[in-house]
Amino acid sequence: MAIKIMGTGSALPEKIMTNEDMTQLVDTSDAWIRERTGIGSRHISTGETVVSLAAQACRRALENAGREAAETELLLVATCTPERGIPCAACQVQSELGAARAVAFDLNAACAGFLFALHTAWAYIEAGIYRNALVVGSEVLSKIVDWTDRSTCVLFGDGAGAVWVERSERGGIRGFVQHSDGNKGAVLQCDSRELHNPFASVPSQTPYIQMDGREVFAFAVRQVPACIQEALEQAQMTVQDVDLYVLHQANKRIIEGIYKRLGAEPEKFPINLDRVGNMSSAAIPVLLDELNREGKLKEGMLLVLSGFGAGLTYGACVLEW
């Protein structure tokens, strides 16, 4: 049994923040940001939420697939920036969509979240438990960014991307791998609410993203090509067999380092981070939706998806479109 992506959708906040806008907040420049990251602008929420963006992306994925929300059996939201601890974002999206039949829950693997959620949907469908799923990555990272820290605030954007997947007799996922390295989790972290009860009060270190950029870069350039090779071997394919590599959009230099290590053609690595920045779990599905709607994804094409980020978590999958 295989699963196939039948529809894609995405949603971005209306507000676009350029690098020039950034210079009004921190000591930086358009040239400095572009040289180090490849980012030129990003979308920033002025009220849009993880739930509202996810619901909009899901509606567009359903429309693209020719399906109705009422048909949904599994609804997974990958996010690390939900508005509420409870109920989960997925249950809120379920309510927004009217997907009454769906089982809904969240998954947090940061920037690898969408990929991990897609693999989770595959496992449920492969096991025969469900026949279809809506899988969405949605983030409002602007609320956990320290807007006085120029090393991180220039990187992130807000948005959501979704896919509709269902059982298929052919195509779909050919191989996948997932890894975690919790020992190195401190290189990219963000504290949550402090412990405060009648017996203890432990303040959080900071409620904003903290990142060791050098360590994250080294991790990504070293581990991502290795896990892509692992997934390709599982699928009995080579680097040259792949038509497109749809990677997490963290940093242009990271993507360049990955394709150089793989020995793959740069043109097989589409990029949209110059316009949207790093959207964590939303990055891969938003890029997929762009490629799909531009007519760049043809039936039978072989794709590699790979996500990597906080945790540290990383993984890859090989799929036939």
Class in CATH terms, 2-170: alpha beta
Per-residue confidence (pLDDT) for residue 311, from 0 to 100: 84
Q: How many CA atoms lie within 13 A of 4 on its CB side?
A: 14
pLDDT in the model for residue 273: 97
Q: Exposed e or buried b for every residue in 39-70, given b needs 16+ CB within 10 A?
A: bbbbbbbeebbbbbbbbbbbbbbbebbebebe
Contact between residue 102 and residue 303 where contact means Cβ atoms under 8 Å apart: no
CA distance 237 to 316: 14
Q: How far is CA 172 from CA 74, 77, 78, 146, 294, in A?
A: 18, 20, 20, 40, 20
H-run or E-run covering 277 = none
Contacts of 267 (CB under 8 A, 6+ apart): none
Closest to 7 in 3D by CA, of 69, 78, 49: 69
List 19, 64, 251, 278, catalytic entry: 278
Mean pLDDT, residues 26-35 taken together: 96
Q: How far is CA 244 from each of CA 148, 193, 236, 251, rounded to the nearest angstrom?
A: 37, 40, 17, 18
Q: Domain locations in the chain?
A: 2-170, 174-320
Please give the class, per CATH, of domain 174-320.
Answer: alpha beta
Across the chain, what does the average pLDDT equal? Answer: 94
Using one digit for the tens of pLDDT, what is the confidence trace for 38-78? 999 999 999 999 999 999 999 999 999 999 999 999 999 99
The pTM for the full model equals 0.95
Q: What is the CA radius of gyration of the chain?
A: 19
Average pLDDT over residues 141-158: 95
pLDDT at res. 1: 54
Tell me whether residue 196 is one of the annotated catalytic residues: no
Catalytic residue among 43, 80, 88, 248: 248
Known catalytic membership, residue 227: no
User: Which among 58, 80, 91, 111 is annotated as catalytic?
Assistant: 111
Residue 248 annotated in active site: yes
